[in-house]
Structure formats: structure tokens, C-alpha cells
Amino acid sequence: MLPERVRIVEVGPRDGLQNEQGRVRVEDKVALVDALVAAGLQHVEVGSFVSPRWVPQMADSAAVFSAIQRSPGVTYAALTPNLQGFEAAIQAGASEVAVFAAASESFSQRNINCSIAQSLQRFEPVLAAAAQRGIKVRGYVSCVLGCPYEGEIAAVQVRDVASAMLQMGCYEISLGDTLGVGTPGAARQLIEVVAQRVPRAHLAGHFHDTYGQAVANIYACLLEGLQVFDSSVAGLGGCPYAPGASGNVATEDVLYLLHGLGIATGVDLAQVVQVGQSIMLALGRQSASRVARAHAAAAVPR
Amino acid sequence: MLPERVRIVEVGPRDGLQNEQGRVRVEDKVALVDALVAAGLQHVEVGSFVSPRWVPQMADSAAVFSAIQRSPGVTYAALTPNLQGFEAAIQAGASEVAVFAAASESFSQRNINCSIAQSLQRFEPVLAAAAQRGIKVRGYVSCVLGCPYEGEIAAVQVRDVASAMLQMGCYEISLGDTLGVGTPGAARQLIEVVAQRVPRAHLAGHFHDTYGQAVANIYACLLEGLQVFDSSVAGLGGCPYAPGASGNVATEDVLYLLHGLGIATGVDLAQVVQVGQSIMLALGRQSASRVARAHAAAAVPR
């Protein structure tokens, strides 16, 4: 029933640090990316190419890309909302790019200032340029299990946005529970509905742990046949809608789940715990990973 | 597949506070129990009757029992390791008692200074006295998914201890992942093996969140037909084997899971969040419940 192998997309350096209050130096970001790859992560979201006015934390993404060591076979991804961002990402050496839409009309309007349909139109030139250069494009859909403005989101609406992104040329659609409000039953129903139009092999799960449900939701999605999950070392990122609450599910906690289920990831959990401790030291706050805290407590005999 | 209704056994006032560093006044314990019942919890473990030399935090259990308000239909339980403790618990007005064994021989030796077989023998007079007075006895089995000294524990060993406790007269056996090391696949396999001898209707799940797996493990047990779970408001208790790590799964996070799955509990989540905030204020530390933290962050629009 469960997959033999799962691919982890490590989003800490981008989705994580973008939502941290503390600023992180370029050399710390470079060390973070290099250490994550050394721990076995084969897909790392390194940065984004958006206006520094909107996301000042990512203004140094080109510098980070230029300083990281490149390991063969590893995907170094960048978020690129438009053609200008795409060109900058490619120039910086991104091996893959990602575009970002919402399943909620209100969230789309308030977060990226346009309708869902308009946001998809804006990606078209990015996807065309990427196709021309043979660059893979990953699609994010946010608010798949709830929206801060609309509450519940119909699964068919998520399905339609995900399907449109697949048809535009995205090779994989990452379904994001941006608020972390979902529970396993809703997650499974969502996958079943979205899979009517987007085959499971093209879907990824992106869960936030705001209400402590992320690991359970990932287990639910594994039972539904998903084999790719996004996570953030040390739970980097917090929750932009509730400062102090948990945000992205921690890579450590996801690895603990997967390895416990006998699912291979190719990633060394103990090394990721160390990487998380280093970056949290730089940020001056405690890790959100329960596995990392248990390791830090150290007295836990295994 | 999933049950329509789940019973929560709230263990915060006993299993939780027993493992907290901070001392809590009798009146705060009384207020905690009364508020938990007011929130809809129908089964609360109020205290224990053991030597105060071993567990000083519970030395005031009789005083707590004598001061709480009694609601009809609510079970006010006490942990009673021996006949002396049982008599004291009944005198204090406990409506039910619990006994505690381990699935690991080494843990039993080090934690209660006797073999598993000896510990079961010690319960016999308690169960005989309880039967005479018509008092229900609940059994705990600890270390069901791992032991700090032995590592993995065979599911058949858990099955045999649980089965012995059922045969001795316990009406329900709570299976405790004391270290929080379990993952959903192991939890499901455990239930399948234990259910060879103990019908699922007599089993409860007791999970610790040390490695962030408790909510996923509870979901796994729901899929296996379990309908009773122990939890601790605000995650009271921490982890005695790893100070600073998470301990008992938080009642708030379990309620969020269950209600999200459409499972009735009769408990008001928002009220439990408030109860948790009050006791954490008394203890002077942050809640371990992610739901509680999200509520505290308050900005989360639902």
C-alpha cells in the first residue's frame, strides 16, 4: 500500500526563511543549502526572484545561488512569479523554477493582487520560456484545505487550479495547506478529487503544522498514494498568519515518520537534525521540530 | 470505517502534573479538574495514591479529590499501585482506579522494582477488592512501542501483558507509547496483534508526542477501530526521559483531529484551550499544544 520511496522537497531556505523575522546572512544561507544537500536532500528550494520590496528576505537569492556548491543530480529550485524573475533565476543558475497560485479567489486577490485566472495567465510566458530552455517548472497551489478569508475551499476548485497548472506544463503540483487547518479525512478526500484530473504521480503534499496535524496528514496522503512531500528543516518559517504558531512541517519529523514506516528517502535524519540546530542558532530561536528537540534533550535512549 | 464517537481519558491532572517540574497548589488542581469536566470531559484522572516519597507531586491527591465538584456521570479516576493505595483512593471518593504495568521487563525492573509477572501479582488484591466493591479498574501498559533500555518491544509481549490484565479483571487496557518513538505502521501492527487476545472495544491508545508522531498514531489507531484515547490538556507532563522534549499528546490537538474527522467527543475544544492556558500560567511555561499556540497567536482567521 505505502510507497517504497518518497522524495522530500526541502523548502526551508526559501519558504522557510522568507517567513522568518530574523535576517540570515548570505554565508549562513549558503552553508544551510550545502549542508542540506550533504545530508542527502536531492531537491532544495534555494531562493526566489521577486521584487525585494515585497520579499526583502529573498533579495540576496542570486548571491546564494552563485556561492553554493553544486552536487550532480541535485535540483536547486527558485520561485519565479514572472518572466523577469525567471530570467534572473536562470542567470543565477537555478536548475528548476516554481510558480505559485491559490485555490482561493480572495487569497489570490489579497496575496498576489489578481484573480486566480489572471495569475495563471501571468505564468504562461514563464512556462513558455522554461519549455524553450528545457527547464522544469513546479506549481504550488495554496489554501487547498482552507483560506483565511473564505474558510473551507471546495476540493473541485483545487482540482481545477491544479489541472490548469498541469496543462500549462508544470510537471508537478504541490498542494499546500497554507493555514495548517486540514485533518486526514479532508486531505484524503482532496487527493481523491484532484486525482480525477491530475494523476497522483504529478502531485505533492505541502503541509503546515499550525494545528499539529501535518504528520497525520502526510500519513493520510501516503495511504492515498502520494510520493512527494515538501518540508522545512527545523520547521523554519513559522506561520505568517499567526506569529508564534507552528508553520511548515519540520523535515526531521517527516523523515522520522517515513523511516519509521520503512519508506526510503536517501536522507540522513541525524545530519538534518544538526543542520537544523545550526540555522536555529543563527536565527536565535528554538527549533519547531519535535524530533530535533528530543535529540537536543539527548537523554532519550533509543 | 472511523468510529462515530471517541471517549477521551484526560490524564493531565495525574500523568501530566506528576511529570512537571513546577509544583501546583491544591486549589489550582481542583480548578483544573472542575474546568476540564465543565468543558465536557467525562473521564478525568485526578491523582494517584502512591508513596509521597516516590511521587511528591501527588501527595495531595486526597485533598484534591475532597475539593472537586462532582458531576453526575463523570469518572474521577485514581492510580493505585497496591491495596493500601486502593483503600485510600476509595476513601477519597475515586470513582474508578487504575493499575500500571510495563511491556518491557527491564523497564518494569527499573521503574517499579519488580518483574512484569510480579507486578501483575501485586495487582491481584487490588482487583479483588475492587470487584468486591463494584469499582472498575483500568490497566495501563507502558513502553508498548519501545523501551529506553531494551529498544524495540515485541508486539506479542504487549499482547500477553494486556491479555493478563484483561483476564485479571481490568475492563480496559490503555497501551502507552511511553517514549513516543512509535510510527503509524508499528501502531497498527501492534493493535492487530494485541487484538488477537484483547478485543478492540477493551483497548485504548496512550501516545506521547516526543517525536511528533502522536496525532498520526492516533489516526492510525482510529483506522484500526480504537475508540478510546488518553491525552493531557496542554500536553502537560513533558517527557521524563528527555526534559525539554514533548510528552503526552495534547488534548487540544487530539480534539482538533477528531472533530476534523467528524468524530463526536462531547468536548468543547475552545473551552479546553482556555483550561490549558490557565494551568500553563500557573506552571509558568508555554503550552505544548499546537492548537493552543495557534489560538494564542489569535491572528489565525478561521
A178 chain-B contacts, CB cut-off 8 A: none
pLDDT, tens digit, 9 for 90 and up, residues A205-255: 999 999 999 999 999 999 999 999 999 999 999 777 777 778 999 999 999
Please tell me the predicted confidence (pLDDT) of residue B272: 98
- Active-site positions of A? 239
Contact: A243, B299; criterion CB under 8 Å: yes
Residue spans of the domains in chain A: they are 7-299
Please tell me the predicted confidence (pLDDT) of residue A298: 65
Residue B270 is inside which H or E element, if any? helix B269-283
User: pTM to 2 decimals?
Assistant: 0.96
Question: In chain B, which among 85-144 make CB contacts under 8 A with chain A?
Answer: none
CA-based nearest distance B12→chain A, Å: 18
Please tell me the predicted confidence (pLDDT) of residue B52: 84
pLDDT, tens digit, 9 for 90 and up, residues B127-174: 999 999 999 999 999 999 999 899 999 999 999 999 999 999 999 999
The residues of chain A scoring below 70 in pLDDT are 298-302
Please tell me the predicted confidence (pLDDT) of residue A301: 47
CA-based nearest distance B292→chain A, Å: 8
CATH class of A7-299: alpha beta
Question: In chain A, which among 269-298 make CB contacts under 8 A with chain B?
Answer: 289-291, 293-294, 296-298
Please tell me the predicted confidence (pLDDT) of residue A55: 84
The residues of chain B scoring below 70 in pLDDT are 241, 298-302
CA-based nearest distance A64→chain B, Å: 32
A240 chain-B contacts, CB cut-off 8 A: none
